[in-house]
Amino acid sequence: MARDVSDSTPIGSKAELIAWIAAGEKPASSFRIGTEHEKFPFYRGDLAPVPYEGRAGAGGIRALLDGMRKRLNWEPILDAGHIIGLAGPDGGGAISLEPGGQFELSGAPLRTLHETQAELVAHLADVKAVAAPHGIGFAALGASPLWTLRETPVMPKGRYRIMANYMPKVGTRGLDMMFRTCTVQVNLDFASEADMVRKLRVSLALQPLSTALFASSPFLEGKLNGFQSMRSEIWRDTDKARSGMLAFAFDEGMSYEAYVDWALDVPMYFVKRGDTYHDVAGASFRDLLAGRLPQLPGECATMSDWANHLSTLFPEVRLKRFLEMRGADAGPAGMLTAMPAFWVGLLYDTASLDAAWDLVKDWSTAERQALRDAVPRQGLAAGIGGRKLIEIAVEVVELSRAGLARRACRDAAGQDETHFLAPLQEILQSGRNLALRLEERYRDAWHGRVEPVMTEMEL
C-alpha cells in the first residue's frame, strides 16, 4: 500500500467521484503494468520477526528503510515522524510497509514484462544489500508460517491503528489479514468503461484460478493449516462489506457508477487532514460528501478522501483508475513475474480477453462464489461447471501465452514475454502448485518441521 493521496480539491457531487475513476482511461498504446509484491522480513539467525526499531545488535524495519533511502535517494514518507515508506522519483514506484512489517515494493508503471523483471531484480539486489549487515532475510509466502499474532510486530502507521481496532468488529480474521499475509498484485489499465467492465468480469471470474495457481501458504504457527492458500481463506472472514467477488459487476448495466455506488456504501476507516488520521471507522462516505459526518462536523469530502477510501476496499479485483488483481499469494521471484505475465496476456490482448470471457460468461453468481470458497482448501482440484479447475487453468494459461506472443514485446536478445509463464506451465504439467510442493517437503525432507520454509523460500 503506497502513500496516502493528498489532494484537497473539494468534491461536490457523485458525478465527480465517477469522473475521477473515468479519468484513468487511456489508449491501448499507453497501457502499463504496475506490479506490487510483499515479503516477510526475518532475522536469519533465529527466524524471528523484525520489529520496527530492531533489537540488540541488529537494526529493524526503520534501519531497512533508512538504508534504502540512502541507497536509492528516494523521498522518505513519514507518519508522525516515523519513516514508513519511500517514494520514487516522478511516480516511479514506492516502498511501503504493511501492518506487520511486510516489506512492499509498489512498482512503477512499466511498458513490458521485461522491464518488470528488471525492476524486481534491481529491487531484490538493493534490499539484500541493505538487509545483509543486519542479518535480515526476506521470505515470500502467502501467510506467515511461524509467528503468532502476539509475536508479530506492529508498524507505527496511523491508518493501521484505526484498522486494527475496527477489524475485529466485522470479521474474525481481519488481524490475520493485516499482520500475517503477503500477496503479489498487478495493476492494469482500461481504455473505456466497456473495456473496464469486460476486464473486471473476466478477472473476477478467474481470480480463484489465480489463487489456486499461486497458492503458497499451507503453514501457520509452525504447522500445516489444512489449506493451500491460507491467505485466501483468511479473506473469507475479514470484512464482507469491503471484500469478495462483487456479484453486482455481472449485472446488466454495470458501470463506473455502479462501482461508485457500492464504494459509497462501504463503511469508512479514516479521514486524513494534514498529518492526522481521524478515526471515523464505520461512518458513511455519503455523510462526508454531504458535509454531515458526525465525527467531523462541517468537514466536506476532498479528492484525497475519495482516493484514500477506495484504497481501503478489498474485493478480489479492485477498481481505482486502473484494475488491481488481488487473488495471488506471494512467492519466489519467478512467480512474482509470472503473476503479471498471466494477467497481461489475458487482459491486454483482445482475442485472449474475448476467449476468456466466452469461457466464464455462463458461470452463475453461485458457481463463482462456490469456486472462490473451495479454492483455498482444494486448489486446482476444485471445480466449476462440471470441469476441474486444473483443466480450465491449462486452457486459460494457453490463452495468456497466445496473448503475450501476439504482443510481441521483445528484449534485447529477441525473446518475447511468453517465457515468464514457465513456472505456471510447470505447475500445470505436474499438477502440483507451490503449496503442495511445500507440504511434500514438510513431510519428507523437513521431517515434520516448518522452520526450513523460511530459508528455502527466501528471495
Residue carrying C-alpha cell 490475520: 176
- Give the tens place of pLDDT for each residue, 168-223: 999 999 999 999 999 999 999 999 999 999 999 999 999 999 999 999 999 999 99
Is pLDDT larger for residue 12 or for residue 100?
100
- Give the tens place of pLDDT for each residue, 302-328: 999 999 999 999 999 999 999 999 999
pLDDT at res. 6: 63
- Give the tens place of pLDDT for each residue, 218-238: 999 999 999 999 999 999 999
Distance of alpha carbon 424 from the chain centroid: 19
Provide the pLDDT confidence category of residue 345 given band limits of 50, 70 and 90: very high
- Phi/psi-derived region of residue 181, left when phi > 0, alpha when psi is between -120 and 50, beta in every other case: beta
Q: Span 339-361, mean pLDDT?
A: 98
pLDDT at res. 90: 85
pLDDT at res. 5: 57
Q: Span 252-258, mean pLDDT?
A: 98
Name which of 355, 308, 304, 347 is nearest 324 in CA terms: 347
pLDDT at res. 92: 84
pLDDT at res. 7: 77
- Express as a percent the part of the chain with pLDDT over 70: 99
pLDDT at res. 4: 60
Provide the pLDDT confidence category of residue 91 given band limits of 50, 70 and 90: confident
The widest CA-to-CA distance across the chain, in whole angstroms, is 63
- Give the tens place of pLDDT for each residue, 104-137: 999 999 999 999 999 999 999 999 999 999 999 9
Calculate the average pLDDT of the chain: 97
Provide the pLDDT confidence category of residue 2 given band limits of 50, 70 and 90: very low
- Phi/psi-derived region of residue 431, left when phi > 0, alpha when psi is between -120 and 50, beta in every other case: left
Pairwise CA distance, residues 274 & 288, whole Å = 17
Q: Please report which helix (H) or strand (E) contains residue 315, including its range.
A: strand 314-315
CA torsion 98→279→272→13, rounded to 10°?
120
Q: Which residues of 59-75 are buried (b: 16+ CB within 10 A; e: fewer)?
A: bbbbbbbebbbeebebe
pLDDT at res. 85: 97
Pairwise CA distance, residues 183 & 160, whole Å = 17
- Express as a percent the part of the chain with pLDDT over 90: 97
pLDDT at res. 8: 84
Domains of the chain: 14-456 (3.30.590.20)
pLDDT at res. 1: 44
Give strand ranges (E) for 91-182. Answer: 94-97, 103-106, 136-139
Q: Span 236-244, mean pLDDT?
A: 98
Alpha-helix residue ranges (DSSP H) falling in 246-326: 256-265, 285-289, 303-310
The Cα-based distances of 389 to 127, 244, 342, 413, 427 in angstroms read: 37, 19, 16, 35, 13
Provide the pLDDT confidence category of residue 12 given band limits of 50, 70 and 90: confident
Q: Span 277-305, mean pLDDT?
A: 95
